[in-house]
Structure 1
Amino acid sequence: MIEQQAAQNSRGLLPPILLQYWHTALRWRWLVTGIIAGTLVIGVVATLLMAPLYTAKVQVQIDRQQKQVTKVEGLDAQTSSQDVEFYATQYALLKTRPLAERVASELGLYKSGAFLEAHGLDADIITKKVPGKSEAQLRGGHKRLVVGLLLQNIAISPIRGSKLVDASYTSRSPELSAAIANKWASSFIALSMDRQFASTADARKFLEERLTSLQDKVGQSERAVILYGSNADIVNLDQIRDGDGRTLGNRTLVGASLEQLSQALNAATAARIEAQARAGGGGDTTAEATSSATLAGLRQQRASAAAEYAKLSVQFEPEFPAVKQYAEQIRSIDAAIARETSRISAARTREYREAQKRESELKAKVDQLKGDMDRQNRANIQYNIYQREADTNRQLYDALLQRYKEIGVAGSVGVNNIAIVEPAIVPDRPSSPKMPINLAIALLLGIGLAAATVFALEQIDEGIREPSQVEPLLGVPLLGMTPAVADGNLYEELRDPKSHIFDAYFSIRSSLAFATNHGLPRSFAVVSTRPAEGKSSTSLALAQIIGRTGKRVLLVDADLRSPSIHAMVEGSNEVGFSNYLAGENDWSHIVQETSLKNVSIIAAGPVPPSAAELLSGDRLSQFVKEGLGQFDHILIDSPPVLGMTDAPLISKSVEGVVYVVQAGGAAVRGVKASIQRIRQVNGHIFGIVLTKVGGDAKGYGYGYGYGYGYGYGQRYGEEDEARG
């Protein structure tokens, strides 16, 4: 419960990231100020020492011109993305080596000493001899130097959203800058024209070679199609082609025959099914029997005879001659009806057999054609390959022939898509150096260098600076924090219940109230990693605040090597806790009353030869038990943990430990090691109190400390001793 609450408090104390940066900048403000001031001074000095440079600018317009050597649909479509590629290409061409070489050659810059001086070089480089190098090597090196200077000082700046481009040249000579800028634009136009003429000639030569090759390929591929079709017995009735001349399909003789026989087979199958259905029907209920005139006459005769027979049967006996005559007549008519019905059924059976025979014959023929069609389809695979190759060669030939004719017409006309819009003029004022820009750059560099330096120093500084770091780094909940207080003001502010320091310790006391299941711990020790972290002040402040609540508090100074509690309350240190630990049984006479409400103290007493031996016995645990019989709470001001065994020994005899950590003080690894030492002896740590928060780490101090050392002061250095 306490750890969760401390984690929530820790998260709640996390300041915004910008506020963290601001506090970091304040801690290192003098270093940051010095770095920025230094870079500004360097920027001013460098600006004053720079030679003035003059920039001349020429403006050219580049129109979109599309050149197609092979007119393939979709390859060079005029889209916005290809416009970007075109202009990006033109901008790159404006800074190519051949263009720089042409400008240098036309202006005679290879032999110009003024050109070298305009770029801060010695003009004697032209005539200077270098041992071990021939004249050709020297000329080549000098040309590379001139070309490199031209490319280094030319700047190409496209005007966004337009076809205009600015070409600027910078040097120490305004006249030379203007001359080079203008010559750069005119040479670029000339090179562009040369490339267009050269590309047209190359295209015609390329197309002539390709047309000759394709003409032979077209003839060979078409002959291969015809020859393979003849060998494979592929007889094409017609071919289906698209608008580009590609063959989409062939209609062969075998395919047409199969199509016709398949239709006939379908009709024969339908006829056979119909005949089979008629043959399976009853003789006297079929359509033929119903519509037969013969059967209709016989049924009428039978009906008449049956009617007379029925009438006579009512009047006469069956043996009566007239009755017997009609009965015989009825039997004769029934026999005739049966014969007629049998004849109709036999006719249907013959019709079904004939339809079945025709269907079988057609099916056999169709199966034969299917076999032929399968063989032809397998042959069509290779045939289609030949056909596609012929179609492709024919299309390429037609396209290249059309393009060859177009280039033949357009090749004699030179088209220039580049024009000079605004020639360069001789600049009348230098373009650089510019003091405001250089100072702005120096300021940015200074800020960046300062930020990098502060970041590096912050990474080197391993102390805990913020409450939000306590639980993630140490794994112990945060009980509270106290602000940094100027020397000599701590005790005055503790006497004022309205002061910030009083509120801070009262908040810590409130957090301790939740540290155990019975509320505020009755006995606990206050420890720290090293001296001068605010441990004794925290002990006294907690004792004072607990005493103000009406509880009797006994504050014990167990820091036997460097006692300080008696001086804080203006008490005596002639006798104290060391006397009790050394063997005195009655400790009541060493208790001193203080001016603080309900707070009594036991001073450390004389410094013993070995404090660790005194604390290692059972008398400390016995003292805590006896003391709790007379006081509500016992607070023990313990020595620092690092380098000694006193604090771990004390932590075993109390309910728990309040661990004091100075903001920006001891390194995290040292704090972790100290906490681990307490836990190794089964000591319980209630939480961390972060002291001296908000001040400069180097200026922390409460005006108390370990003035005469522990015998290990050299381990912490002069700074720790000064803090005491």
Structure 2
Amino acid sequence: MNLLNSNLQGAAPVVFAQPQAAAGTDNNAIPILRQYLRIALRWRYVMLGAIAACFLLGLIVTLLMTPQYAASTTIEISRESDRITNFQGVERDAGIADQEFYQTQYGLLESSSLSERVAMQLRLVDDPKFFEMFGAAEDDPAFELTDGRYPASGRTKRQRIAGEILRDNLSVDPTRLSRLVDVRFTSPNAAFSAKVANAWAENFIQTNLERKIQATSYGRNLLQRQLAEAKDKLDQSQRQLVGYASAAKIINLPAQSGGDGTTTSERSIVVDDLAALNSALAQATASRIHAEARYEQGGRNGASIEALGNQAINSLRQRRAELAAEYERMMTQFEPGYPAAKAIKSEIDQLDRGIEREENRVSSSLLAGYREAQERERGLQAAVDQLKDDYLNLRRRSIQYNIYQQEVDTNRALYDALLQRFKEIGVAGGVGINNVAVVDPAKVPDQPSSPRLLINLAIALLAGLGLGAALAFALEQMDEAIADPAEVERRLGLPLLGSIPKVEGETPKEALLDRKSDLVDAYLAVQTNLAFSTEHGVPRSFSVTSTRPAEGKSTTSLALATTLARAGKNVILIDGDMRSPSIHHLGGVGHERGLSNFLAGEDDIESLLFSMSELGFVAMSAGPLPPNAAELLTGDRLALLISRLLKTYDHVVIDSPPVMGLADAPLIATRVEGVIVAVESHGIRTSLVKTALGRLASANARVIGSVLTKFEARKAHYGYGYEYGYGYGRTTEADAKAA
């Protein structure tokens, strides 16, 4: 009964006593602060990089930020207006009603109506620089500039957006246990911030008075002033409209009322003239087309209607026809030189010339008519084009005219509304005093209130520290490298036979020859643990494999063969890696004869062996490289070889190829008593090792345990990333020696 089974076989693993070099520290016994410190030290460069990046980002962002200036106005809000005649009055104690009153005042200070009122008073609604300062959306039709001005149709929307901008940059800060309130406004312009803060306080006072306008004479006087101002604005806008119309020569016909009760809007004289000339142009174009058709028809061999209807031409043609008939009759009897015939021919030619002259005269008459119609059309077209230009020019000039007209309409509506309201207001019965007063008006700030370099850099450092810690914990969770020997059993479910230190400055063979080296001590611990793996001690036949190349499997097989030989055992080491052999290099021989010869059918085992007297055992090289090593291993020759060798030797150690990408290792594993898996410390990913163990389990191989190779205590918890591939066995001989 075996004392040690791997978890892949379903048996509970046996805990071995590890040698001092292989002993690891249980993570559960490490205090939590030490674990955090270990993670921080391991990923210190990541954390430092995150802190440096955040620091630089904070510095750059701070330097690129637009300086902001905050201006503050201090106002006093009394609970109630003082009575002039109430000299003996005392102030009431503050209570719930006072809290409600002041909370209401704070809400009124941040109301949208007040912000929009300030925007209108400061003329921010139509100021492109204001919206550009705060980055308002320019894709909106309300912000499309026409001749450097915003359209009047979008004023309502711009007023709402301007109010939102002012509220977003305003803060109301009540002074604790007092009636003082600080109204602070922040913007990139220091003078503008002070201007808005003061305007905010003034408009708050005005709105407070306007709410009392129905009951105080002060409010009535204020309304009178507003009414007078509105009247002045209306008169000024009307004069401005009339003056611009006179300067721009804009003449519009007055609106007319129709018989059906409808009223037409004003229209320009240019429009009426353009309509009349356009109608005349259409008639002239029709006349020109008709004259052109007559002229073109007259040019086709005198076949025009005028030519066919001309009496003189028809008489000449009739006379010519008669002479032509007479000439043809004489030609039947006489020659062309006959005198009478020649006289008739001469008369016919004269008639032809006369007909041609008459037809040319008719054509000239048609041409003259056509040209006259053409000239008339051109003249009308030029006049229409001129009127079109005048109309377009009028339209351009009318843009400003319409703006002035809209301003007149707005002022008239405002004046009418104020006048109607003034008529409805009666004389108030009491006299009150304003309960809001400005204590300290805002002054233009000298220094920006933000950004604050030191504060921003401190925040950036804290953010970098938090980001670096998060990255460190994330990388720690994603890291699959085995850094501690204690992690082997926890992650892989395999017993750890021992951990082997990394050899530097000498070859593994040289380290094995030095019996005091750490490498020899480590493999002696592995041999000791192997003695508990079976009932008869160290397995008589076992193979050493790994997940991928260069993990230390060849060194492990060489070292175990050496320690067993020094323990007085008769040992043979077989190089089972027939794709990239390496054992023959250690013996200083070639691999012309070896394992592949026996697997191919040769039975003389002694001729395939060579001695490694320095290490005290016999070895068998891989032999000539076969075309496909897996085909040789599928037969029974390997099992036969092991059984024959066990009759002579106490232990058969096979240096097996890596598991991943090859079928050789599982085939060898099924022929031996057990398999030892070499796992590279700090390098191989746990998922790859588990995949390799799964392949061995699928082949029903017995995994004895694992050996953690290339372990460096000073690099504990510091992982690397390696890859594997199917190119194993296709490297150069120098690469094979390095394996």
TM superposition score category, shorter chain reference = 0.5 to 0.7
1:50 corresponds, among 65, 71, 94, to 65
Indicate if the aligned counterparts of 1:658 and 1:686 stay in contact, CA closer than 8 A. yes
Query: Which residue pairs with 1:615 in the alignment?
Result: 633
> Which shifted more, 109-118 or 55-64?
55-64
How far is 1:641 from its partner?
1.7
Query: Which residue pairs with 1:225 in the alignment?
Result: none
Indicate if the aligned counterparts of 2:683 and 2:720 stay in contact, CA closer than 8 A. no
What is the alpha-carbon distance in structure 2 between the residues aligned to residue 88 and residue 543 of structure 1? Answer: 90
What residue identity is the alignment partner of 1:149? I
How far is 1:447 from its partner?
5.9
What residue identity is the alignment partner of 1:145? I
Matches within 5 A, 1:237-316: none
Indicate if the aligned counterparts of 2:670 and 2:700 stay in contact, CA closer than 8 A. yes
1:12 corresponds, among 23, 26, 29, to 26
Indicate if the aligned counterparts of 1:527 and 1:658 stay in contact, CA closer than 8 A. yes
Helix, strand or coil at the partner of 1:578: helix
Matches within 5 A, 1:692-707: 692=710, 694=715
Indicate if the aligned counterparts of 2:587 and 2:611 stay in contact, CA closer than 8 A. no
Query: Which residue pairs with 1:680 in the alignment?
Result: 698
CA deviation vs aligned residue, 1:235-255 (integer Å, no higher than 9, x gap): xxxxxxxxxxxxxxxxxxxxx
What is the alpha-carbon distance in structure 2 between the residues aligned to residue 650 and residue 83 of structure 1? Answer: 93
What is the alpha-carbon distance in structure 2 between the residues aligned to residue 164 and residue 6 of structure 1? Answer: 77
Query: Which residue pairs with 2:237 in the alignment?
Result: none
Matches within 5 A, 1:103-182: 103-105=118-120, 107-112=122-127, 115-116=130-131, 118-119=133-134, 128-129=144-145, 135-155=151-171, 168-181=184-197
CA deviation vs aligned residue, 1:170-211 (integer Å, no higher than 9, x gap): 21222222343455567668878999999xxxxxxxxxxxxx
What is the alpha-carbon distance in structure 2 between the residues aligned to residue 513 and residue 420 of structure 1? Answer: 96
What is the alpha-carbon distance in structure 2 between the residues aligned to residue 163 and residue 629 of structure 1? Answer: 107
Helix, strand or coil at the partner of 1:538: helix
Asked if 1:656 corresponds to 2:695, the answer is no
- Give the direction of change, closer, same or farther, for the CA distance of 1:7–1:20 in structure 2 (3 Å limit): farther
How far is 1:462 from its partner?
6.1
What residue identity is the alignment partner of 1:56? A
What is the alpha-carbon distance in structure 2 between the residues aligned to residue 498 and residue 59 of structure 1? Answer: 86
2:545 corresponds, among 527, 532, 536, to 527
- Give the direction of change, closer, same or farther, for the CA distance of 1:581–1:54 in structure 2 (3 Å limit): same
Helix, strand or coil at the partner of 1:110: coil
Q: Which has the higher contact order (CA 8 A, sep 6+)?
A: 2
How far is 1:659 from its partner?
1.6
How far is 1:428 from its partner?
1.7
Query: Which residue pairs with 2:643 in the alignment?
Result: 625
Indicate if the aligned counterparts of 1:575 and 1:604 stay in contact, CA closer than 8 A. yes
What is the alpha-carbon distance in structure 1 between the residues aligned to residue 175 and residue 520 of structure 2? Answer: 67
What is the alpha-carbon distance in structure 2 between the residues aligned to residue 652 and residue 501 of structure 1? Answer: 29
2:595 corresponds, among 557, 560, 577, to 577
1:432 corresponds, among 436, 439, 450, to 450
- Give the direction of change, closer, same or farther, for the CA distance of 1:650–1:159 in structure 2 (3 Å limit): farther
CA deviation vs aligned residue, 1:382-413 (integer Å, no higher than 9, x gap): xxxxxxxxxxxxxxxxxxxxxxxxxxxxx999
CA deviation vs aligned residue, 1:632-657 (integer Å, no higher than 9, x gap): 33221101122322111211221211
Indicate if the aligned counterparts of 2:582 and 2:736 stay in contact, CA closer than 8 A. no
Indicate if the aligned counterparts of 2:544 and 2:678 stay in contact, CA closer than 8 A. yes
Query: Which residue pairs with 1:604 in the alignment?
Result: 622
Indicate if the aligned counterparts of 2:68 and 2:449 stay in contact, CA closer than 8 A. yes
What is the alpha-carbon distance in structure 1 between the residues aligned to residue 521 and residue 541 of structure 2? Answer: 22
> Which shifted more, 477-486 or 457-466?
457-466
5+ unaligned residues in a row in structure 1: which ranges? 66-76, 199-410, 715-719
Helix, strand or coil at the partner of 2:618: strand
CA deviation vs aligned residue, 1:340-398 (integer Å, no higher than 9, x gap): xxxxxxxxxxxxxxxxxxxxxxxxxxxxxxxxxxxxxxxxxxxxxxxxxxxxxxxxxxx
- Give the direction of change, closer, same or farther, for the CA distance of 1:49–1:600 in structure 2 (3 Å limit): same
Indicate if the aligned counterparts of 1:547 and 1:597 stay in contact, CA closer than 8 A. yes
What residue identity is the alignment partner of 2:541? S
Indicate if the aligned counterparts of 2:126 and 2:150 stay in contact, CA closer than 8 A. no
How far is 1:458 from its partner?
7.3
Asked if 1:710 corresponds to 2:725, the answer is no
How far is 1:606 from its partner?
1.8
Helix, strand or coil at the partner of 1:606: coil
How far is 1:464 from its partner?
5.5
Indicate if the aligned counterparts of 1:10 and 1:478 stay in contact, CA closer than 8 A. no
Helix, strand or coil at the partner of 1:518: coil
What is the alpha-carbon distance in structure 2 between the residues aligned to residue 93 and residue 510 of structure 1? Answer: 87
Indicate if the aligned counterparts of 2:51 and 2:465 stay in contact, CA closer than 8 A. yes
Indicate if the aligned counterparts of 1:113 and 1:124 stay in contact, CA closer than 8 A. no
What residue identity is the alignment partner of 2:26? G
5+ unaligned residues in a row in structure 2: which ranges? 5-11, 18-22, 81-93, 215-429
Asked if 1:97 corresponds to 2:134, the answer is no
Asked if 1:567 corresponds to 2:581, the answer is no
> Which shifted more, 454-463 or 688-697?
454-463
- Give the direction of change, closer, same or farther, for the CA distance of 1:18–1:641 in structure 2 (3 Å limit): farther
Query: Which residue pairs with 1:554 in the alignment?
Result: 572
TM-score, length basis structure 2: 0.52
Aligned residues: CA RMSD? 5.4
What residue identity is the alignment partner of 2:154? L
Query: Which residue pairs with 2:257 in the alignment?
Result: none
What residue identity is the alignment partner of 2:67? P
- Give the direction of change, closer, same or farther, for the CA distance of 1:630–1:155 in structure 2 (3 Å limit): farther
Indicate if the aligned counterparts of 1:638 and 1:650 stay in contact, CA closer than 8 A. yes
- Give the direction of change, closer, same or farther, for the CA distance of 1:415–1:61 in structure 2 (3 Å limit): closer
What residue identity is the alignment partner of 1:12? D
TM-score, length basis structure 1: 0.53
- Give the direction of change, closer, same or farther, for the CA distance of 1:673–1:95 in structure 2 (3 Å limit): same
